[in-house]
Amino acid sequence: MYLADRMNNLGTETAFEVLAKAKAMEALGRNIIHLEIGEPDFPTPEHIAEAAVKAIREGYTHYGPAAGLPELREAIAHNVNHTRGKGVNIDLTQVVVTPGAKPIIFFTLLALAQKGDEVLYPNPSFPIYESMIRFCGAKPVPIRLLEEENLQLDLDDLASKITNRTKLIILNSPHNPAGCVMPWTHVETLSRLLQNRDDVYVLSDEIYKDMIYEGQHHSIISVPNMIDRSIILDGFSKTYAMTGWRLGYGVFPKALIPHIIKLATNSVSCAASFSQRAAIQALEGPQEPVRAMVSELRDRRELIVKGLRRIPGIVCPKPEGAFYVFPNIKGTGISSHDFQEQALSESGVAVLSGTSFGKYGEGYVRLSYANSQENILEALQRLENFVATKIS
């Protein structure tokens, strides 16, 4: 088979590969503790599920508008204006609803970046950023994270890499895999760097915005000079434990909207209508399940950070948001990939190599603490025993 050259530029999401391998081992009788997949282990809140059932019974089983149901877009606009700070005033015409949030990455890059253009993005970071940048023909320009600053984005590195070819900068806060939360001072600094570059857009991935344990979420869209060139990516998968519902959305400058809708029409047609009706209930209904989930995740964070810090050779920063830890494992003498493979095969603990998130991830691994406290404790004991056999 002869594939188009562009297929050589596609990467993958290693979490699903490791999950498949771990599941295959479980099928053979192995006991595996899953700390690899980025998925809340909580059920979708009942009132949201009931809203979907009601919508199906009411006939919301047909095509909807490519940009999403107007009533959901209105609810999203209201939520964004309420959660992104004073001065944010977007309307429903700036919202596009998609099956999952990944299309927002793809649509933004397809609309703005092409061969010869450069896109700056955090490294390590969600691997689909780099994959999609390459697929669209643009050049990915990685920006390091600073371990001495709790894995915050290196803004000096970013400033030095903005050129006349830069078309887009990707941000992610709270961050996957590091769990860091961008402070307001960083948001302000970035906006100043771009004050004379009206041709540079920012895609801000804020899918974990509701999972913050210290401080608060700061969005680039809340800076007045950035509103007309900022794209917000968000969705329902993490906050409302709706990963299987496949529902995300983007908030775009008005000038981009017709082009994004055209991309949606040509690719996904529309998101499922009954899922969208349920999403309205997610935004407007009781938020207690979200608060309860975040409270439990906070407890798990304390547990896993404390346990990893007890293991010789591992240095673990405390994440401020999301549900991942990204410890430095260089002191164990094991490469990131070998740690991933051997922890699974020898200890039955599924983790991800830091290199799954980019070349600067060498020396780190990502662990998701979206698992029970009981399983986290067992995984920590297994990892402590595993590391002890390697450095003794």
pLDDT tens digits for range 92-133 = 999 999 999 999 999 999 999 999 999 999 999 999 999 999
d(CA 147, CA 354): 14
Contact 126, 208 (CB under 8 A): no
* Closest listed residue to residue 268, CA positions, set 103, 85, 89: 103
Whether the ω angle into residue 124 lies within 30 degrees of 0, i.e. cis, is yes
The CATH 3.90.1150.10 domain(s) of the chain lie at: 5-44+288-386
The whole model's pTM is what?
Answer: 0.95
pLDDT for position 1 = 87
Domain 5-44+288-386 has CATH 3.90.1150.10: yes
pLDDT for position 392 = 66
d(CA 21, CA 25): 6
DSSP 146: E
d(CA 34, CA 354): 16
**Which residues have C-beta within 8 Å of that of residue 121, sequence separation ≥ 6?**
129, 130, 133, 140, 141, 142, 143, 169, 170
pLDDT for position 75 = 98
User: What residues does 250 pair with on adjacent strands?
Assistant: 96, 233
pLDDT for position 2 = 86
- CB neighbours of residue 113 within 10 Å: 22
Query: Between the CA of residue 76 and those of 15, 23, 172, 216, 252, what are the distances in Å?
Result: 29, 36, 19, 20, 12
| pLDDT tens, N- to C-terminus, the chain (392 residues) | 888 888 888 887 788 889 899 999 999 999 999 999 889 999 999 999 999 999 999 999 999 999 999 999 999 999 999 999 877 899 999 999 999 999 999 999 999 999 999 999 999 999 999 999 999 999 999 999 998 898 999 999 999 999 999 999 999 999 999 999 999 999 999 999 998 898 999 999 999 999 999 889 999 999 988 999 999 999 999 999 999 999 999 999 999 999 999 999 999 999 999 999 999 999 999 999 999 999 999 999 999 999 999 999 999 999 999 999 999 999 999 999 999 999 999 999 999 999 999 999 999 999 999 999 999 999 999 999 999 998 86
pLDDT for position 219 = 96
The CATH 3.40.640.10 domain(s) of the chain lie at: 59-284
| CATH assignment, 59-284 | 3.40.640.10
